[in-house]
Every structure is written in structure tokens, then in C-alpha cells.
Amino acid sequence: MNKIIKKKRLNDTVTLMEIEAPWIAKKAQPGQFVILRVHEHGERIPLTIADYNPQAGTVTIIFQIVGATTEQLNHLEENDSLHDFVGPLGVPSKLDGLKKVAVIGGGVGCAIAYPIAKKLHENGVVVHSIVGFRNKDLIILEDEFKKVSHLYSVATDDGSYGTKGLVTHVLEDLLKRGEQYDEVFAIGPLIMMKFVSLLTKTYQIKTTVSMNPIMIDGTGMCGCCRLSVGGVTKFACVDGPDFDGHQVDFDTAIERSKMYQSFERRKREETCRLFHQEDN
Amino acid sequence: MANMNLKRNPMPTQDPNVRNHNFSEVALGYTKIQALDEASRCLHCKNQPCVSGCPVQIDIPSFIEKIKEEKFEEAYQVIAKSSSLPSVCGRVCPQETQCEAKCVRGIRGESVGIGRLERFVADLHHQKETEETMNVPFNGHKVAIIGSGPSGLACAGDLAKQGYAVTIFEALHLAGGVLVYGIPEFRLPKKIVQKEIDTLKKYGVDIQTNVVIGKTLSIDELMNNQGYEAIFIATGAGLPRFMNIPGENLNGVYSANEFLTRMNLMKSYELDSETPIQRAKKVAVVGGGNVAMDAARSAKRLGAEEVYIVYRRSLEELPARKEEVEHAKEEGIIFKLLSNPIEIIGNDQNFVKGMKCVEMELGEMDASGRRKPVVKEDSEFFLDVDCIIMAIGTSPNPLIKSTTEGLKTQPWGGIVIDEETGATSRPGIFAGGDAVTGAATVILAMGAGKLAAKSIDQYIKNK
Ligand SMILES: Cc1cc2nc3c(=O)[nH]c(=O)nc-3n(C[C@H](O)[C@H](O)[C@H](O)COP(=O)(O)OP(=O)(O)OC[C@H]3O[C@@H](n4cnc5c(N)ncnc54)[C@H](O)[C@@H]3O)c2cc1C
Ligand code: FES
């Protein structure tokens, strides 16, 4: 059982929680994740560690409400407890030896991109952060990003804030203007990471993406998180979640992420209905 | 005078066509009358061949003698001297290649149903057990056990009974190892495993779930910062193998571990479960061991109309327990023997629509002493299935090795130990079970846990 110390709504569909987990807080590094269950019969879901505080013994998670489990999670309040919380899992992001990077976050992926930008900034690296959202209301972590970035650029699909368009457009403009990066970190929807990787490939810039496939155990035991990277099968939970974006087979990853789509939709509707009844 | 009936008492079971739609236990267990009758078939041979067939040398003739005398609790105590998990082993041990293979009655007729008798006394014992806690005075020493499968549980029990403060660290949210995430309910009801775990708790064993050693904490931290004087590594062999054939990453291809974990640990077969599983119409399970049988029979119960076992050797080489193969056949599992997949074919949505296979024939003996399967020419055929489960083996997870300096392992990942003691290359660290041997059996893992408990006790006393 792990207590929720703090809960904060970042926008209509994205919530931040600080969870009491002293052992995990001590070990966590950017790029790693936890697996949690909300209740005794709940599903196991992976969430990336957005921040950690070894002194306070807390770990921050940021999640978008996309399915039944995140819906239930969002219904918990401060001082409630999670049934299970295990981590830190996965290999930490490799952030050494860099001078100048672009960190690209898409939607809730910004929650994962932020600790990376922060750590790089702490290491004295020049960070250009490019973040993308569907519209202005969905923007998260703006102040946090600004604090750790030399350049901070927002793109929205509808142009309601920042540049109208996609993060790839912003990145391409910067590259065309002659910006040079040692590495690009791209974290967000699979389709975004795919197109960022295609773009950076033409410029031959090393690109790291953070994969978030369906998982169960998170320890290498089931293989359901497997991906094809450079033609070789890798388990995202133990070999990743970071991989070379130029090597990942995104199309298969996109198909695999849809494996249980109809089940997930049904469960979410059931859960919403249940909460709705309770609220009335 | 012994009962000279050549046949053993048949095990009462659920009807095959009923049970292949439910998850309740298949084998129902002997009644007292059956148990007494079966016990009376034992000849009490002087040289006790059955005992030499048992990996932990249970005194089989004397527990059977106690059954004859209707002293069932005493019979249990005889078994408990050598085994920590009689109700589990009575159900899942491959008796036909162990104790029962050596039984003299098996020469002309059927061997005594030793496993069935073991299960009978263990179940009786568990029905009676009281709720009180067992107070063993603390002897001042702390031991950590990594992994809560049969090996870890056995080691924990023996140490706790001697007064050690034992903590088990388990990566998953539930203790039990393969007994809870792998072996299905219909073969090993989870309440039996829970009973064993509850008994350990009564002896004061502390079980910390959701702790991945190597990630959350390291072995060195346990020893240096947390005061554990000895460690037992019982992390099993959980890393699934795939065949590396085209199409293995299509939707609808599972490792047996994933499929069984979704079923057993996450209970995805229950309608209100929050963990999804594909409800396939036609399923092929690749492999021939217990894991393959469990996956196939689970798929059937989940509602598949056709379930195939695809195995590259013949019936004789099937490594699964004989009883499981028989049960699988009764339940309508179709055996495609001497067949091997070469490619998995998907539809335009990336879901499995079939599997290309070739027929095999048995050639020369290979290193394992079995005849090596070789491909028959021009024998390609297509199996029309929408789900494929790979049950072709597992190996030890590299996590502990990669985070524990100086721990020697085999090239394939197994931890190197001294066979006599279970000691690893690092003082104070012991290992056993599948983490050492690779995927093996519950009884061997349990036996290794008991051996390690003995060695740890000596190690700490001699320090
Ligand atoms: C489906 C299936 C059916 C089987 N059927 C039979 C049968 O009929 N008869 C038989 O005798 N045997 C059978 N076996 C084999 C038997 O279950 C195993 O040999 C036995 O469970 C091994 O025990 P163990 O204690 O070594 O490891 P496991 O039971 O594998 O337990 C290891 C535990 O350690 C945990 N762990 C791993 N790494 C870490 C870590 N870093 N930190 C913390 N915890 C960790 C795991 O989560 C797991 O719970 C079967 C196996 C499977 C998979
Ligand atoms: S989540 Fe099971 S192996 Fe990665």
C-alpha cells in the first residue's frame, strides 16, 4: 500500500500525484517507470516516473485519463492508497557526454520528457524543449520546462497557443536554420516519435525515444512488451524503455498497442458509468 | 496380506466435457475408502525403491503404513519431515518418472498411487489446521530470501521454524511464484498455495511483495545496510524464449508466461476482470511440456473451439506429466506431433490468421539422448488459427546477475552453486531452484530450498 501525498489536476484529463514510496524514490532516475495497481483486482499498468524526491521519500506520476485504470486512479484522493506500486523499473536514460540537445514532448509525454530536460539542464547541457499539444487547454508543465530550457517552443494542432502545427514542424524549422544537436529525445504518441525519428534520420542526429507498450510484470517475465528494434526482438521493460528511434519498428508497435482496444473501451465505459452512479 | 489388484484406484475427476468449460480442479482426490484401499497395495519392500526415486527422499513406505493404520495426521508428519509442500507436490510432481517409476507393483500392473496418497493426507491435514500462531523465539539472525516460489517458500519455512527472522522479497504483487502465476487453478487451486503461505506467516515470515531485487534494492544493500546475514536467491527461470520466426510480434502471439499470467495471476478469464485476454477461436500452443499443456487447456476453458499442441517430436518424448497429457486429450486438445512452425501469418490488421508448419521425423540421437527431429522434405502445411502461444522454454532472468558483483553464472544464465550446500561464489549468498537448474520441477526447487536452509543455518552458526 502506497499513500497518495499530493494530487493536482494539470488539465481536464491529466493529473499529477505524489506517491509515498521511499525505496523507489531513493533509486529512481530519469527514464525509469513504475507499475501500479489501484485496487486488489485491478490491472497492472506502467507509468513513467515524472519526478522523485529521495529526502521526502516520494515519487511523482503524471497520467492522462485514457482507460478504466487511469479513471479509477483519478478518483483517488490525497491520503488514499494505491494497492501496489513497484519500481523503479527499466534502464535509466543515458544522458552523459552531451552538450546540446532537443527534448521533444507530445501531450502527456511531456511528463516523461520533463525529468530528462531537467536532468540534462542540471548537467549543464543546452536544452531546446519543443512541446506539442492539441490545444491551449491541454498544456502542462510550461513553467517547469521554461526553467530548464534555453529555448522553449510550444506547438498546438489548432494554433490556439504557440506555433500552429506539429512538433516536427518546429524541429524542422530549427534544423533548417542550422541548429545542431548532439541528440534528440522524443517522447509522446508513437506516431509523433515515428515522424520525429524519420526527420532526424535525414539529418543524421542520434534520436532516443521512450516506448510505452502494454506491460504486465515489467521484469522481463512475460514478453508482452516486446518490440522489434533493428530487426531484433527487445523487451521494453528490461531493455528499455529508451531505444534508438532510427531502429524501432514503429508500425508494428502501433499495431501492438491496439491489441485490446475494444476491451479497453468497454471497460472504460463501464467504469465511467459506475462512477457516475456513485456521484449521483 | 497386501491388496494384489493390478490396477490402482482411479482418481475421481470432473467429467472432461464439463471441466473443459470451467476452472475448478480437475482431479477431485481420493476418498478415505479409496485411500485405504490404495495404501493396502503397498508391499513395503525392504529396499524401498520408491524412496530412492523421490528427489527429497520422503519415507514413502512409512507414510503409507500410517495411512493403513488410519493415523492420517501421523502420515502427514512423516512426509513433512522431508517436504514443505505436500499438498502441492501431491498434485504436480511427475510421480511416473520418480517414486512411482521405481515401485515394484509397477512391474506387473500399475504402481501404487503414491502421489494421490500424498495429496490425500495433505488435504486432510489442511482441513484440520488450527488458526493459532506458532511462536518460535527469535534467534537474533536475519535472512533474506529473493523470490517466493516453492524454493523460496521451503527455505523460509525451515529457517523460520529455527527462530530466524526471515523476509521474502517478491517482485510481483502476490507470493507463490509459478505456483500462482503459471500453474492454473484447475490443476492447483490457488487457495492451497495461499494456505502454505499463510502457514509461513504464522511462523513469522515477513513477505514483502512489489520489491524487485536488483531494481528496488540490491543484494549488497540487503547485506550491508539492512542487516541480513545471509541471502537465498530463488528467483526462478522466468525469461520466456521465442522461436525467432517471422510473424512472432503479430497480435495474437503470446508467450506461455504472458498467457498464463493474464489467466492465473490477473484472473482475466473472469468476466469482470480488468486485465484483457484474447478470446480466440482456434489456438495453437507450441511446445510439449507441462507449460504447453496448461496453456492449451486454459485456452480451451476460455472458449476456444479448437486447440492444438504443436510439438516437434513424438508422443513418447512429450516432457509433460503423463496425467496432464491424458487429461488434455480427454478434454479435446488436438495433438499435432512431429510438427514445427516456420512462420506466422497475419491479416491486414496485424492479427494472427495462421501458422505455416513443417512435418518432422526423428533422426539420430542428440546430446539430450533423444532422437533429433529433422524436417521432412516438401511437408509444409498451414494451420488455421487466430492465436499462438509459445511454450518452448524459459531461462533465468539476468537481473540479479547483472546487479550482483562477483556472482558466478553459467553461460546460459543459471547461477553456479556448490551442489552440496547451495553456496554461490559469494560468501553468505546461496541459490537454488530454477534460478540454478533452469526450468525444472517444484519438488527439486523445494528440495533446493530446504538444502539452502540447512547450509544457511550452518553458515551463520559458524560465522
Ligand atoms: C505453467 C507451468 C507449469 C508447471 N507445471 C509443473 C508441474 O506440473 N510439476 C512440476 O514439478 N513443475 C512444474 N512447473 C515447474 C515449476 O513450477 C518450477 O520448476 C518451480 O516453480 C520453480 O520454483 P522456484 O522457486 O525456483 O521459482 P519460481 O516458482 O519461478 O519463483 C520465483 C519467484 O521469484 C520472483 N522473482 C524473480 N526475480 C526476482 C527479483 N529480482 N526480485 C524479487 N523477486 C523475484 C518471481 O516473481 C517468482 O515469484 C511448471 C512451470 C510452469 C511455468
Ligand atoms: S512487461 Fe512482461 S516482459 Fe516486459
pLDDT tens digits for range A7-48:
999 988 899 999 999 999 999 999 999 999 999 999 999 999
Contact between B162 and B457 under an 8 Å Cβ cutoff? The reply is yes
Nearest to A84 by CA among A21, A158, A9: A21
Asked whether B438 and B412 are in contact (CB, 8 A), the reply is yes
Would A224 be classed as within a structural domain?
no
Check residue B135 and report its DSSP letter: -
Please give the Cα distance from B178 to B170 (Å, whole number). Answer: 12
Give the per-residue pLDDT at A262: 84
Whole-angstrom distance, CA of residue B139 vs CA of residue A22: 29
**Facing residues of B430 across strands?**
B232, B423
Q: For B276, which of A42, A220, A260 is closest by C-beta distance?
A: A260
Residue A254 domain-assigned?
Answer: no
Per-residue pLDDT band at B256 (split at 50, 70, 90): very high
Among the bound ligands, name the one nearest to the CA of residue B96: 1
Residues of chain B contacting A42 with CB distance shorter than 8 Å: 274
Domains B142-238+395-462 and B242-392 share a fold: yes
Check residue A19 and give its pLDDT. Answer: 97
**Residue whose cell numbers read 523460496:** B152
Mutate to test the interface with A, among B213, B221, B270, B274 (most CBs of A within 10 A): B274
- Give the whole-number percent of chain B exceeding pLDDT 70: 99
With a cut of 70, say whether residue B153 has pLDDT above it.
yes
pLDDT per residue over B262-291, tens digit each? 999 999 988 888 899 999 999 999 999 999
Residue A63 near residue A49 (C-beta atoms within 8 A): no
Q: Is the dihedral of CA B150, B152, B158, B161 positive or negative?
A: negative
- CB-based contacts of A278, cutoff 8 Å, min separation 6: none
Of A181, A210, A239, which residue constitutes the final position of a domain?
Answer: A210
Q: Is A104 helix (H, G, I), strand (E, B) or coil?
A: strand
Secondary structure of residue A197 in the 3-state scheme: helix
Shared-domain flag, residues A104 and A202: yes
pLDDT digits (tens, 9 = 90+) for B226-245: 999 999 999 999 999 999 99
Whether the ω angle into residue B94 lies within 30 degrees of 0, i.e. cis, is no
Partner A, chain B 345-374, Cβ-Cβ below 8 Å? 349-350
Kindly report the pTM of this predicted structure. 0.94
For residue B149, the SS3 value is coil
Element containing residue B168 per DSSP (H, E): strand B165-169
- Residue A35 backbone phi and psi in degrees, to 5: -120, 135
Domain B142-238+395-462 in this protein, CATH class:
alpha beta
Taking only the tens place, the pLDDT of each residue in B95-113 is: 999 999 999 999 999 999 9
Q: Are B21 and B301 in contact (CB under 8 A)?
A: yes
Distance CA B183, CA B176 (A): 10
**Angle, CA of A131, A133 and A139, to the nearest 5°:** 85
Residue nearest to atom 9 of ligand 1 (CA): B92
The answer, for B402 touching chain A at a CB cutoff of 8 Å, is no
- Selected for mutation to probe chain A from B146, B167, B215, B243 (highest A CB count within 10 Å) is B215
Report d(CA A242, CA B299) in Å as an integer: 34
CA of A46, nearest ligand number: 2
One domain for residues A61 and A111: no
Which residue among B210, B255, B261 sits closest to A86, beta carbon to beta carbon? B210
Nearest to B251 by CA among A256, A216, A234: A256
Does residue A223 form part of some domain? no
Domain boundaries of chain B, sorted by first residue: 16-126, 142-238+395-462, 242-392
A207-210 vs B253-255, strand pairing mode: unpaired
Mean residue pLDDT of chain B comes to 94
Task: Give, in words, the CATH class of B16-126.
Answer: mainly alpha
User: Is the predicted pLDDT of residue B179 greater than 60, yes or no?
Assistant: yes
Q: What sign results for the dihedral spanned by CA atoms A176, A177, A178, A182?
A: negative
Query: CATH number of the domain that A11 lies in?
Result: 2.40.30.10
Please give the pLDDT value at position B95.
Answer: 94
Mutation to test the B interface, candidates A2, A217, A235, most B Cβ within 10 Å: A217
Q: Does one domain contain both A24 and A108?
A: no
What percent of chain B is predicted at pLDDT more than 90? 89
pLDDT of residue B366: 82
Complex prediction ipTM: 0.93
- Indicate whether A192 belongs to any domain: yes
d(CA A234, CA B351): 20
State whether the beta carbon of A126 lies less than 6 angstroms from ligand 2.
no
CB-nearest to A217 from B211, B254, B261 is: B261
Average pLDDT over residues A96-113: 94
- Assess whether the C-beta atom of B87 lies below 6 angstroms from ligand 1: no
DSSP letter for each residue of B240-269: E-----TTTTSBTEEEHHHHHIIIIIS-TT
Q: How confident is the model at residue B130 (pLDDT cuts 50, 70, 90)?
A: low
**pLDDT score of A280 more than 70:** no
Is the C-beta atom of B214 inside 6 A of ligand 1?
Answer: yes
Per-residue model confidence (pLDDT) at position A147: 95
The answer to whether B29 and B12 are in contact (CB under 8 A) is yes
Do A267 and B244 count as a contact with CB atoms less than 8 A apart?
no
CA of B393 to the centre of ligand 1 (A): 12
| Number of domains within chain A | 2
Question: How far apart are the C-alpha atoms of B183 and B187, rounded to whole Å?
Answer: 7
The reply to whether A188 and A110 lie within a common domain is yes
Q: How far is the CA of B239 from the centre of ligand 2 (A)?
A: 9
Q: What is the pLDDT of residue A267?
A: 84
- Beta-bridged to residue A156, according to DSSP, are A133, A164
How many Cα atoms are found within 13 Å in the side-chain-facing hemisphere of A171?
32
Q: Are residues A55 and A120 in the same domain?
A: no
pLDDT for res A195: 97
What does the DSSP 8-state code read for residue B95? G
Say yes or no: CB of residue A237 within 6 Å of ligand 2. yes
Which among A185, A210, A235 is the end of a domain? A210
Percent residues over pLDDT 90 in chain A: 88
A239 lies in a domain?
Answer: no
**Same structural domain for residues A25 and A80?**
yes
Check residue B131 and give its pLDDT.
59
* B290 CB within 6 A, ligand 1: yes
Kindly give the number of the ligand 2 atom that is closest to the alpha carbon of A46: 1
Among residues A89, A124, A144, the one where a domain terminates is A89
Secondary structure letter of residue B429 according to DSSP: E
Rounded average pLDDT over B253-257 = 97
Rounded to whole angstroms, how far apart are CA atoms B122 and A174?
Answer: 72
Q: What is the 3-state secondary structure (H, E, C) of B288-299?
A: CCHHHHHHHHHH
What mean pLDDT do residues B457-461 have? 97
Residues in B touching A31 (Cβ below 8 Å): none
* Closest CA in chain B for residue A90: B215
In a domain, A240, yes or no: no
Ligand found nearest the CA of B320: 1
Length of chain B: 463
Contact call for A252 and B249, based on CB within 8 A: yes
Q: Among residues A184, A188, A225, A258, which one has the least CA distance to residue A89?
A: A225
pLDDT at B129: 64
Judged by DSSP in three states, B232 sits in strand
Q: Read off the pLDDT band of B133 (50, 70, 90).
A: low
Residue A279, pLDDT score: 62
CATH number at residue A183: 3.40.50.80
Q: Flag whether pLDDT at B127 surpasses 90.
A: no
- pLDDT tens track for B23-82: 999 999 999 999 999 999 999 999 999 999 999 999 999 999 999 999 999 999 999 989
Q: Tell me if A80 is assigned to some domain.
A: yes
- pLDDT single digits (tens) A74-98: 999 999 999 999 999 999 999 999 9
Assign B158 a pLDDT band (cuts: 50, 70, 90): very high
Domain of residue A66, residue span:
2-89
DSSP state of B167: E
Q: Does B266 touch chain A (CB under 8 A)?
A: yes
**Residue B91 in grid coordinates:** 498434485
B460 contact partners, CB below 8 Å, separation of at least 6: B141, B143, B164, B229, B230
Query: Quick check: A219 and B171 CB within 8 A?
Result: yes
Statement to judge: residues A63 and A127 lie in one domain: no
- Place A239 in a pLDDT band, splitting at 50, 70 and 90: very high
Backbone angles phi, psi at B280, to 5 degrees: -85, 160
Whether A222 sits inside 8 A of B239 (CB atoms) is no
CATH 3.40.50.2300 fits B242-392, yes or no: no
Mean pLDDT of chain A: 93
pLDDT above 60 for B348: yes
Asked if B209 has any chain A CB less than 8 Å from its own CB, the reply is yes
Query: Is residue A12 located within the same domain as residue A57?
Result: yes
